[in-house]
Amino acid sequence: MPSVHTVTYSLLRRQGITTVFGNPGSNELPFLKGFPEDFRYVLGLHEGVVAGMADGYALASGRPAFVNLHAAAGTGNAMGALTNAWYSHSPLVITAGQQARSMIGVESMLANVEAPQLPKPLVKWSYEPACPEDVPRALSQAIHSASLPPRGPVYVSIPHDDWDREADDDAELVAEREIDHAGVPSPAQLERLAQRLNAADNPVLVLGPEVDARQANGLAVELAERLRLPVWVAPSASRCPFPNRHPCFRGVLPAAISGITAQLEGHDLIVVIGAPVFRYHKYAPGRYLPEGARLVHVTGDANEAARAPMGDALVGDVHATLEALLPHIVQSERSMPEPLPRPAPAEDGEGRLAPANVFDMLDALAPEDAIYVKESTSTVEIFWERVAMREPGSYFFPAAGGLGFGLPAALGVQLAQPQRQVIGVIGDGSASYAITALWSAAQYRIPVVLLILRNDTYGALRGFARHMAVDDAPGLDVPGIDFCALARGYGVEARLADSRQALETALREGFAMDRPLLIEVPTLPT
């Protein structure tokens, strides 16, 4: 009979999962023994980087990404990155090596006691097989659980002495399984939603990351154009679900109760598609809805529908729902919204560029189908105003706000989308959380362009300090970091761009390279 090891690799191969992101320890070595030639192992020097690369890979590919962590310590190191994966509905299949079964009870070194409890509540499902023969079935369940809506990370702890054990006669059956999801609303449900949209005097559309994840962007554009709706992106945007130069585009809603209500004032129907209602951040209380407004929520996540504090909800696949809804929508006679005005250039400082001018340069030089992985949290609004995002899958941002996402996620996205140019736009505070990702970029010659915006401070935190009237907090500045030197130390070429000319030269060079380039840009604080 085949071994658990053999059946597992057969399962992964059949499911199209042939890339493993990991940082191995002793518990993981038996799984990696005889690593197949048709598989690819991507090494990260810290488990947070490993999970971040896998997160980017899963988001950009739309497929489950396989993660191999080291016991409890490695799982703990990855928990910050796991927070972002959870809130972005990223289908990560996370495995962790466990001590030999006979050694767990005595709590020997590297025993992960009560292993399934460790990653909760940041996983959809967590499990440790009760016997070696159950490992292939458990991994099959993990893959399908991660992939079924709402997508999300899962976790399996596997004792290292399970891999050489014989599997059951029927173990190969798990590799043959296929599970399809169908989530189309009924005709009556679609008709009710269409009636509300067609009858509304001043409706507005709010789109979220699920639209982009389900590749329903074009359908959202068609809906907006047919009804001539203003379109907002839901607050705390982790993806771009609608082209931000389209005439209907209004911007990204603020992540505050009162701010959202103010922006949506005057609309009688608010239709939220593919986003939570809502991902608030700043504490700015107020009314949840403008006076006289009603809200309808379309989502593939039943939990998001259940916890919303207002409005009606329709749970179903976002792409299938929009596709089935459009034939019921009547062409509106309203005027098409006017495009947003383009902002003027900003003034640079001495040896420091204004972020607005950095983004204008990026917009002018980057390929039209470029993918941006953004983790400069203090420049989000400026970026959305100045950088065009036209294609699906063009923007990724940490969904939970946990720092350390940008550098490794940019590598994972580039591995998943080698035909498109990936550009990481990373703040200096964020980059420091996952700087070892540069080693992986160099070793695997991942041709990503990494812009490090160095303003020597935690810019977003300074904004919150102003909002919360805390003007004397320590620890808000991070001066003295030489990112060019760090990059070269890890094997990545680097350029300092302290003028517009130097930035233009570096960007053109980076876009023509077949290996990574880091560009350090001293910037003014926002």
DSSP E strands in 150-212: the ranges are 154-159, 203-207
Query: Among residues 46, 70, 246, 319, which one is catalytic?
Result: 70
Q: How far is 492 from 254, CA to CA, in rounded Å?
A: 37
Query: Among residues 26, 102, 108, 186, which one is catalytic?
Result: 26
User: How many Cβ atoms from other residues are within 10 Å of residue 305's Cβ?
Assistant: 18
User: Is residue 289 within 8 Å of 261, Cβ to Cβ?
Assistant: yes
**47 catalytically annotated:** yes
**281 catalytically annotated:** yes
Query: Among residues 46, 47, 210, 424, which one is catalytic?
Result: 47
**316 catalytically annotated:** no
**404 catalytically annotated:** no
**510 catalytically annotated:** no
Closest CA to 175 of 130, 144, 146: 144
What values do phi and psi take at 171, rounded to 5? -60, -35
**25 catalytically annotated:** yes
Query: Among residues 10, 22, 28, 56, which one is catalytic?
Result: 28
Task: Spell out the residues 6+ positions from residue 209 whose beta carbon is closer than 8 angstroms to its own.
Answer: 88, 89, 234, 237, 238, 239, 241, 274, 275, 399
User: Is residue 78 within 8 Å of 84, Cβ to Cβ?
Assistant: no
Query: Among residues 172, 222, 281, 385, which one is catalytic?
Result: 281
DSSP 224-259: HHHHT--EEEPSS-SB--S-TTSTTEEEEPPSSHHH
Longest dimension (CA), the chain: 73
Closest CA to 323 of 183, 198, 179: 183
**160 catalytically annotated:** no
User: Is residue 329 within 8 Å of 227, Cβ to Cβ?
Assistant: yes
Query: Among residues 10, 22, 25, 520, which one is catalytic?
Result: 25
Query: Among residues 401, 404, 406, 429, which one is catalytic?
Result: 401
Q: How far is 481 from 429, CA to CA, in rounded Å?
A: 10
Residues taking part in catalysis: 25-26, 28, 47, 70, 281, 401
